[in-house]
Amino acid sequence: MKNQLITLFSSFFCYLIFTTTIQAQESIFDKLDSIAIVDEKVMMPMRDGVRLASDIYRPKGAGKYPIIFSRTPYNFNSWGDGKQRTRTAKRAYEYVKKGYAYIVQNERGRYYSEGEWDILGVPLTDGYDAFEWMKNQPWSNGKIGTIGCSSTAEWQMAVSALDHPSHAAMVPQGYGAGVGRVGAINEQGNWYRGGVEQMLFFSWLYGVEHDKFKPRIPKGASQEDLIRISRFYDLAPENPRVDMAKALTHLPIQDILKNINGKQEIFDKMIRRKPNDPDWFKGGIYHDDKDIGTPSFWFASWYDVSITPNISLFNHARNNSKDPFIRDNQYLVIAPTLHCGYTRATENTIVGERSVGDARLNYDEQITKWFDLWLKGASNDFKETTPRIQYYTMGSNEWQSSEVWPPENTQLTTYYLHSNGHANSRFGDGMLSTSKAKKDRPDHFTYNPMAAVPSYGGNVCCTGNAVKGGAWDQQDMEARNDILVYTTAVLEEDTEVSGFINSKLYVSSDVKDTDFTIKLIDVYPDGSAYNLDETIQRVRYREGYDKEVFMEKGEVYEVNLTPMSTSNVFKKGHRIRIEISSSNFPRFARNLNTGGNNYDEKVGITAHNTIHHSAKYPSQIQIPIAVK
């Protein structure tokens, strides 16, 4: 009898949750239906005849309305699962309620959109053609704003360079995979960091790519038929669950998706591209030879996968756009969260396992004012009350503002690496000092790609169970002898570090090519060591990404790594630390040390790597410290 009662109660509880969820969905759709004209599966024509599936929500009643436009590779079928359906309806309701038309569209080749999909390679003209179609609708006021996070943001920058007159404002959020080359940074849409493959796309493509043999709707299908069949066929692939932590260990890396029965078509061609391959400069990635032609409200976060490229792109637009008006209308928010985690900030925001305090911000209010200003011509106070840059400082746990980045009150302070040749692990003698080491007592470590340093925490996205994102205590990691640890003396006062962190290493090795990694750490009085940012450099690309220059045994080489970024107060009694090694896996692909292609190799060789530090070889890290 007891078991029967438990079963009955469980069934009732599940029914209650189900009916409550259904009622919530019906409620938002009822509310949306009361204020909006809903036009689903509108097939928007592109110049080559391909049609892109679009759902349009606009206010009832006569009038002309500005448009908020979101283009995405993700599924928004309003008759899909409840979560997707409700999310789209809520966004549409909020914008329609504020007097906007809201349009969501799938990229070509995704779900009900026609054509062939190519990540980071969708024609820029698709965005321009969509703007052209929307501005000509009788209910449009001709002003269009774009918004989205991650893959719904990354196309916006390159399309902005086409300077369509109706593209009046944009809000790119977590937009790193749309950044190709900005100055010395050459990430090619997050595929690379310092010439090393970032493995997030290996996992992401498994989850989102549609197979070339996918079911297809006949070309030219009518809107009526598309609406009808979308109730029955969602077109979303259901991928078997994969232990991505295990899957990413497979060699060669070109066969990772093949090994888990994933889709391979797009991955196969991307894995073979070198950092300067001409194909990176086609399609939808933004490069610094393009102009930003749109007022922009940028959103980034300290624990996103590409915080330095994101801030660098903001600076590039702020300083280099051809039109002074555009340069003056660039704004930036930097939150202390993971990728696209802005609205998840709470009174006690935990990122990884570190509390960064109350990191909430009135994001929606600011974004609404931004769009009202540019799309409605509202005389509001956005520009008077919104700082140029709003950034959250961890440690002190407060929002701050600045007109420029890095903030004007920061000064670069150089810390040099020191040791007596035994900086291996946190138990070693590695130090950071503002004076140069006089005599070279180099530190040596062994890098075996088959026993790589595991990624633990960090600035990551989209790797499934393979990497934990955010700040995690690195003490156990720092017990490894293949990690060199350099730490300052105990700080006598609170020290704010806000800006780009530059690092220069003098290295040698007994192999033709290897990688070097750096991680920036906040060490607490109890020894807890929380990571702030990290970077990597493949040595063959130390002289640029248009050529490969290999090492010779016994020679010493200067290696400048891509800058790291943070805003963090190292409290009195804390210490500043860096870790140096040659792997951070599987966030970054392992260098097999052979000097070969790496992507098609199964067997690696062990590297014996050396960090030099002396007056002749001043290995260093430059830290932007706020001056009171």
pLDDT score of 21: 41
Mean pLDDT to the nearest integer, 187-193? 95
More confident residue, 170 or 236: 170
pLDDT score of 16: 37
At 81, the pLDDT band (50, 70, 90 cuts) reads: low
pLDDT score of 22: 44
pLDDT score of 23: 45
Mean pLDDT to the nearest integer, 236-257? 95
At 121, the pLDDT band (50, 70, 90 cuts) reads: low
Q: CATH says 410-626 is which class?
A: mainly beta
Residue 499 has pLDDT above 60, yes or no: yes
Mean pLDDT to the nearest integer, 21-27? 53
Mean pLDDT to the nearest integer, 61-73? 95
At 238, the pLDDT band (50, 70, 90 cuts) reads: confident
302-321 tens-digit pLDDT: 999 999 999 999 999 999 99
* CB burial of residue 121 (10 Å; 0-12, 13-18, 19+): middle
pLDDT score of 82: 52
DSSP 41-60: EEEEEPTTS-EEEEEEEEES
DSSP symbol at 241: P
CA distance 462 to 546: 28
Four-CA torsion 134, 139, 142, 148, nearest 10 degrees: -60
602-612 tens-digit pLDDT: 999 999 999 99
| For the chain, domain boundaries | 410-626
Sequence-ordered alpha helix ranges (H) in 376-462: 382-385
560-571 tens-digit pLDDT: 999 999 999 999
Four-CA torsion 170, 176, 180, 186, nearest 10 degrees: 140
Task: Count CA within 13 A, CB hemisphere, residue 509.
Answer: 30
pLDDT score of 84: 60
pLDDT score of 123: 77
Pairing label, strands 167-173, 296-303: parallel
Q: Omega into 407 within 30° of 0, i.e. cis?
A: no
Mean pLDDT to the nearest integer, 64-87? 81
CA distance 283 to 159: 10
484, 443 in Cβ contact below 8 A? yes
At 77, the pLDDT band (50, 70, 90 cuts) reads: confident
Average model confidence (pLDDT) for the chain? 93
pLDDT score of 562: 96
Residue 114 has pLDDT above 90, yes or no: yes
124-162 tens-digit pLDDT: 899 999 999 999 999 999 999 999 999 999 999 999 999
Task: Count CA within 13 A, CB hemisphere, residue 621.
Answer: 30
Considering the chain, what percentage of its residues have pLDDT values greater than 90? 86
Task: Count CA within 13 A, CB hemisphere, residue 517.
Answer: 27
CA distance 541 to 548: 6
Residue 8 has pLDDT above 50, yes or no: no
Mean pLDDT to the nearest integer, 213-226? 91
Structure tokens that stand for 411 in this block: 């000064």
Counting runs of H as helices and runs of E as strands, what totals does the chain give? 13, 28
pLDDT score of 627: 95
Strands (E), 295-453: 296-303, 330-338, 350-351, 354-355, 389-393, 398-402, 410-418, 431-433, 443-447
Instruction: Taking each helix axis as running N to C, give the angle between helix 82-97 and helix 2-35, from 0 to 180 degrees, rounded to the nearest 10.
Output: 30
pLDDT score of 78: 64
pLDDT score of 26: 61
pLDDT score of 19: 39
pLDDT score of 83: 58
Helix, strand, coil percentages for the chain (3-state, nearest 5):
25, 30, 45
pLDDT score of 469: 96
106, 72 in Cβ contact below 8 A? yes
Mean pLDDT to the nearest integer, 393-407? 98
Phi, psi of 608 (to 5 degrees): -105, 105
DSSP symbol at 264: -
Residue 411 has pLDDT above 50, yes or no: yes
Nearest partner of 290 among 299, 281, 277, judged by Cα: 281
- Range in 20-24, 381-385, 573-577 the model is least confident about: 20-24
pLDDT score of 79: 65
CA distance 562 to 312: 11
Pairing label, strands 192-193, 185-186: unpaired
pLDDT score of 172: 97
